[in-house]
Structure 1
Amino acid sequence: MTSSFKNIFDLGLLFERVQTENIFPDNKTFPDCIAKDSLDVINEAFLHEKDAEDFDLKAFVMKHFDLPINRTATYESDKNHTIDQHLQTLWAVLTREPEQENSSLIPLPNPYIVPGGRFGEVYYWDSYFTMLGLHASGRIDMIESMVENFSYLIDKIGHIPNGNRSYYVGRSQPPFYSLMVKLLSDEKGLGVLVKHLPYLKKEYDFWMNGKEKLTAENNALHRVVLMQNGAILNRFWDENNTPRPESFKEDVELSHQSTQEASVLFRNLRAAAESGWDFSSRWFKETDSFASIHTTDIIPIDLNCLLFHLEDTISAAYSLLDDNDEATKYQRWAQNRKEAIQHYLWSESEGFYFDYDFVENQPKTHWTLAAAFPLYFKIAELTKVQKIAEHIEGKFLKSGGLLTTIARTGQQWDSPNGWAPLQWIAYKGLLNYKFDDLANKIRQNWLQLNLRVYEQTGKMTEKYNVVDEGLLAGGGEYPNQDGFGWTNGVYLAMSQKVLSLEC
């Protein structure tokens, strides 16, 4: 029988009951399950059996579905291994081969590295930082394999989704694809830029979708926003406005606490998930109120710096083809974006970059490490970097590395947590402007914390408590995860001082 259902999360009542009745402690489990029969047949059986007096929902699910396999859960590190030996061993543990299964997994043509723990699929922005470690390990083959997978997704879906799961397709993640292509081109030659130009352009078109339809009256559409001075900047978005399948219960429960329309709230939650910072007070109107999340009203620093790099990379690829008209066009767009970032996101009075609320037409007041992105992409003026460096050292630097934000809210992308990708962005950004002492202090603090936790636990984790190094990082919708792709990548890149890597 051919299934009319495409996904477990389309199963209506069955899906909602499993997600809200705590059949599994983690809401991501059921959307990742592997159906033993067509979903039509399973749903028909559920509707037939659900009202029986002795109906057992969990038993029904276990009868009709196989649980997703957490392949890192069974792995135990060798206590005799140094951290470097451990990280080299982990590449094989975190590698996934192309596979087809009757689940939400989107098959990919080539092998890839997953983060680990509950994250058994590839993730977009995670993968760039994982690639830094692959580069340090000489695994250019895997970098190329993963770049080809992302090109395949751009071609097949029109963009790179959050991860290769069908429930992630409505959103992407911070657009690091151009940095991945650049990393590969540094190893294999500039022909890599030309080869991947069609995919770079398609990625750009995804982020700029709706640009031509913007007007003063309708100044925001999808991920593009027309600013008051005529500049076009970008925001995070999701094409869907329903609860996230992998966090269904949490989203529905939050909707009961929020004054926002449920559909608006759900889109704001999804947009924050696209940012990768899910969740942070950075996206809240009120620092301590998760229910006040308003991600789609915000022009983020990091997103617009990444799109500057994408525009610049496309321009460089056209230059290699001697297509000066196209090269000039994309370079002009990059320059326009750079000027708009300085105009809207720089605060002269504070000496720092802040996100911008384009609905209220005013800067956000949250101090976040996203302010390091203009340094990473070398678009901050030197006179500004001195002030930024002082704030990073004074407000963000702790004994274990850099805080994500200075607010302590219980959200995982806030204090006291530090995350590997942001350590790398700030470290490299400061090196770009010759703030070597501060950069190396960040590097030293972060590596020492990673090493200490590994020696105590035998694990590399998703995030770390950089304030109280005796405590594990917390917050978020799930426990701290072991693995962990981007932590491994940044550790290897920093520990080997791979300073030749250019953004």
Structure 2
Amino acid sequence: MREFLFLLFIVSPVSGKPQKDPRGPNIIDETADFGTPEHDNRVHTELTELTGPEIARLIGSDYFNGSVLPCDNETAPGQWMVYCSGRLLQAVMAVKLYPDSKTFVDQPMKVNRTGESIMEHFEKRFPKPIEEISKKEVAEFVDEFFDKEGNELDVCELPDWKPITEKLAQIKDDTYLAFAQRLHFIWIQLCRQMKPEVKEDPSRFSLIYVPYQFILPGGRFREFYYWDAYWIVKGLIASELYSTARMMILNFAHIIETYGFIPNGGRVYYLRRSQPPFFAPMVYEYYLATQDTQLVMDMIPVIEKEYIFWSQRRSVNITLETQEFNETVRMFQYHTEADTPRPESFREDVLSAEPFTTKSKKRSFFKDIGSAAESGWDFSSRWFKDHKNLTTIETTNIVPVDLNAFLCYNMNIMQFFYQLAGNPLKHMEWSSRLANFRQDFTKVFYVPVRKGWYDYNLRTGSHNTDFFPSNAAPLFAQCYDPLNSQLAVDVYNQMENSGAFSMSGGIPTSMHKETNQQWDYPNGWSPLNHMIIEGLRKSLNPTLQQKAFVLAQKWLETNMQTFNVSNAMWEKYNVQEPQGKLATGGEYEVQAGFGWTNGAALDLIMTYSDRLEYKGPLLEGLVGTPPPHKSSSSSSSSSSSSTSESSSTVIPSSTTGSSSKLLAIITVTIFYFLF
């Protein structure tokens, strides 16, 4: 039923034909020979020309002995030899069996197969060097011992989904209402749950078991991801999918109880790295929307357990020199222990490391690569010494302003939760920790002459004062005194002076233009745009709150206009040319879906539901038609105080709606119940 409904949605309501692909005619053809060095050089521009056998020999080198693996016998006893190490993994990558390296490590082992037995079969069948094993031989072996990727998941029903919600019905503008309804329906397509065998026979799978259903990002991402989930939860709350949001939180609690932290994503090959710590903020947002105090009480010890992980395994001492004395403070950084190629990007990492001539330099490179992946920004000029080339990456030398702001936010949430729990001693403990950390945070990251917060480099003892949206993370996390209104204004002005707010489609991830990395110019990402918008909205400055609204409009129109030509939401966008042009760069093609993009858009639409007005060209790809152009006075007359409303607050709307709004609601409802 619902699958058929979405077939209706991916066809143009005007032409009856599929919409054009906004990636353009030059996207990589998946039938092409991806084993050629020409393809690898398109992705990794720093590589020298290598022949196929040379690439295979390079990939077949010893990367595992004496190294820290992404997963091992302790963390993944039945899977590590297949998904995190071994000659089979190298052979698959050497012959470029799939266009995407991630495909193989997502494939389950067949029933009655074990990692040990598969490796025994492989060694007996292929005692020869990796470079002598043919693609046909590898393909036949994989077909014999592995199932297709994604087979371990079932599409699921959202128990709390309904076609029309009270919140969405209150959206004032007809076009935004139609867009929000389309996003609301996408949740159905992204819902997954584990098949029973993942729990019963976990050693056959790279997938990490969780007990409840969850929302996928989409595309190649066939598992849950950590920091994506914060914006997904925000979107689920906007869609009144409170039970689904709660299940997402309970899944992460299960993971923390099992592993002591939340890995990058739901695969065993992610078990050496995490992602930005947004579990506590998820619980907080859910509490604001539901007032579910019992869940907060249940989650307090789980949040503390995750905080211990960051304190013990991801912290670093920094000595600050002053004229009077030296002071040592403790901050957080991204720093994975693994120093081998990432299994999901094994071939790419090996080829990127080709210029390094010693094993120790390669291992340092792999550690920095993995640590950048832990940040979520894989990859960006933010981590490069020369701000240009991946081979100069030094993530482990950088103390990131955003990570520390997020953990500052965690501390603030914890002191609030303990106050809610009626535990004054723990409330005082976390309040004191927060106050002290805010002071240290300012000492480490604030640069008075540049009037803002910036990443700190341990190697140079200096700051990277280039523009990155992460510089605004303290505004979002409120890791400063909100009464210091001028500080927020200064930070905004610094970002504006960089040119970051001049793009027609949103805020870029940096102003570095020639890296070909996905977390650089001209790409804009939903979490970063949302974070800056929310940081400005949370300020006590009416001017900055209005700036937040303008930026929200810009980002949402980019989302809508691209949706109009592609019938899809995407993980990232080209903000320089936003009307239907997608982002490029990085290790894989831009992905559709897309969980956190949907969530950020829905949250922003609900935050400004009484103010948004679409005045652009007709968007034929949306249900219904846009309203007549309205006078600008109606927008400007809206009280600026509405921008400071919590995004979880339902904003009253007019009791009368236009005929096109009713048409949009009725159309979607009829589709749902008919099919």
TM-score calculated relative to the size of structure 2: 0.68
Aligned CA distance change for structure 1 residues 254 and 459 (closer, same or farther; 3 Å): same
**Cα distance between partner residues in 1 of 2:648 and 2:335:** 29
Q: 2:537 aligns with which of 421, 427, 431?
A: 431
| TM-superposition CA deviations, 1:117-157 (whole Å, max 9, x none) | 00010000000001111011000101100100111111001
Would the aligned equivalents of 1:225 and 1:235 in 2 still touch at CA under 8 Å? no
Q: CA offset at residue 349 of structure 1?
A: 1.5
Deviates more, 1:366-375 or 1:200-209: 366-375
The worse-fitting range, judged by mean Cα deviation, of 318-327 and 489-498 is 318-327
Q: Please, which moves more after superposition, 222-231 or 135-144?
A: 222-231
Give 2:555's aligned amino acid. W
1:98 aligns with 2:228: no
Whole-angstrom distance in 2 between the partners of 1:11 and 1:5: 12
Q: In 2, distance between residues paired with 1:184 and 1:84?
A: 20
Residues 4 and 204 (structure 1), Cα distance of their counterparts in 2 relative to 1, 3 Å cut: closer
What aligned pairs does 1:51-450 form with structure 2 within 5 A after superposition?
56-69=137-150, 82-99=178-195, 100-101=197-198, 102-186=204-288, 187-209=290-312, 222-228=314-320, 229-258=327-356, 261-380=361-480, 381-394=484-497, 395-397=499-501, 398-408=503-513, 409-433=515-539, 434=542, 435-450=544-559
Mapping 1:32-47, distance limit 5 Å: 32-36=106-110, 37-47=113-123
**CA distance in 1: counterparts of 2:243 and 2:521, whole angstroms:** 37
Hey, what's the Cα distance between the residues in 2 that align with 1:263 and 1:129?
Answer: 33
C-alpha spacing 1:373/1:72, structure 2 compared with 1 (3 Å): farther
The SS at the match of 1:196 is helix
Deviations 1:9-52 (A, max 9, x none): 24511111101220111010111011112222222222222269
Amino acid at match of 2:79: K
CA distance in 1, matches of 2:478, 2:179: 32
> CA deviation digits over 1:93-117, x for unaligned, max 9?
1111133442100110111001000
Contact 1:376/1:429 (CA < 8 Å) preserved in 2? Answer: yes
C-alpha contact (below 8 Å) 2:379/2:517 kept by paired residues = yes
| Aligned-partner Cα distance in 1 for 2:490–2:242 | 38
Paired residues of 1:158 and 1:203 also in contact (CA < 8 A): yes
Q: Which moved more, 1:368-377 or 1:189-198?
A: 189-198
Letter in 1 for 2:149: P
Counterpart in 2 of 1:30?
Answer: 104
Change (3 A) 1:44 1:234: same
Contact kept, 8 Å, 1:231 with 1:336, in 2: the verdict is no
Structure 1 unmatched runs, 5+: 74-80, 211-221
Q: Is the contact between residue 304 and residue 337 of structure 1 (CA under 8 Å) also seen in structure 2?
A: no
For residues 301 and 452 of structure 1, the distance between their equivalents in structure 2, rounded to whole angstroms, comes to 33
Letter in 2 for 1:45: H
Comparing 346-355 and 109-118, the one that deviates more: 346-355
1:483 aligns with 2:593: yes
The answer to whether structure 1 residue 497 and structure 2 residue 612 are counterparts is: no
Contact 1:207 1:224 in 2 (8 A): no
> How many Å apart are 1:354 and its aligned residue?
1.0
Letter of the aligned partner of 1:396 in structure 2? A
Q: Distance in 1 between matches of 2:233 and 2:409?
A: 18
Check conservation: 2:508, 2:520, Cα contact below 8 A. Answer: yes
Taking a change above 3 Å as real, the CA distance of residues 372 and 164 of structure 1, as seen in their structure-2 partners, is same
* Residue 452 (structure 1) aligned with residue 598 (structure 2): no
Partner of 2:212, secondary structure, is coil
Q: Which amino acid aligns with 2:209?
A: P
Q: CA deviation at 1:502?
A: 7.3
**Displacement after TM superposition at 1:72 (Å):** 12
Q: Deviations over 1:400-435 (max 9, x none)?
A: 011111111211111100000111111111112231
Mapped partners of 1:249, 1:72: distance in 2: 29
The equivalent of 1:77 in structure 2 is none
Q: Aligned AA for 2:194?
A: P
* Alignment correspondent of 1:216: none
Letter in 2 for 1:483: G
What per-residue deviation string (whole Å, max 9, x for no partner) do you get for residues 50-80 of structure 1?
A: 269986211221222112139999xxxxxxx
Compute the TM-score of the two structures, normalised by the length of structure 1: 0.91
Letter in 2 for 1:190: T
Structure 2 distance, partners of 1:378, 1:170, is 29
1 or 2 for the larger relative contact order (CA 8 Å, sep ≥6)? 2
Q: Percent identity?
A: 33
Give the superposition deviation at 1:447. 0.6
- The alpha-carbon deviation at position 258 of structure 1 amounts to 4.2
Query: CA 1:135–1:378 in structure 2 vs 1: closer, same or farther (change >3 Å)?
Result: same
Which amino acid letter does the alignment assign opposite residue 193 of structure 2? Answer: E
User: Contact 1:227/1:358 (CA < 8 Å) preserved in 2?
Assistant: no
One-letter identity of the residue aligned with 1:223: S
> Could you tell me how far apart the structure 1 residues matched to 2:463 and 2:292 are?
41
Higher CA-based Rg: 2
Task: Call closer, same or farther: CA 1:333–1:359 in 2, change over 3 Å.
Answer: farther
1:336 & 1:145 partners in 2: Cα distance? Answer: 34
Q: Which piece of structure 1 moves more, 23-32 or 491-500?
A: 491-500
Cα distance in 2 for partners of 1:258, 1:405 equals 27
Moved more, 373-382 or 200-209: 373-382
- Alpha-carbon distance in 2 for matches of 1:337, 1:5: 41
Match of 1:18 among 87, 92, 103: 92
**Alpha carbons of structure 1 residues 109 and 258: separation in structure 2 relative to 1, 3 Å:** same
Contact 1:162–1:172 (Cα < 8 Å) also in 2: yes
Q: Aligned partners of 1:411 and 1:86: how far apart in 2? A: 30
Residue 88 of structure 1 deviates from its aligned partner by 1.8
> What corresponds to 2:63 in structure 1?
none
Q: Is the 8 A contact 2:385 2:392 kept in 1?
A: yes
Contact 1:405 1:415 in 2 (8 A): yes
- Going from structure 1 to structure 2, the CA distance change for 1:226 and 1:194 (only over 3 Å counts) comes to farther
- Cα distance in 1 between the residues matched to 2:319 and 2:304: 23
Code of the aligned partner of 2:281: L
- Counterpart CA distance in 2 for 1:189 and 1:274 is 31
Does structure 2 conserve the Cα–Cα contact (< 8 Å) formed by 1:4 and 1:40? no
- 2:261 & 2:140 partners in 1: Cα distance? 38
Cα distance in 1 between the residues matched to 2:232 and 2:462: 36
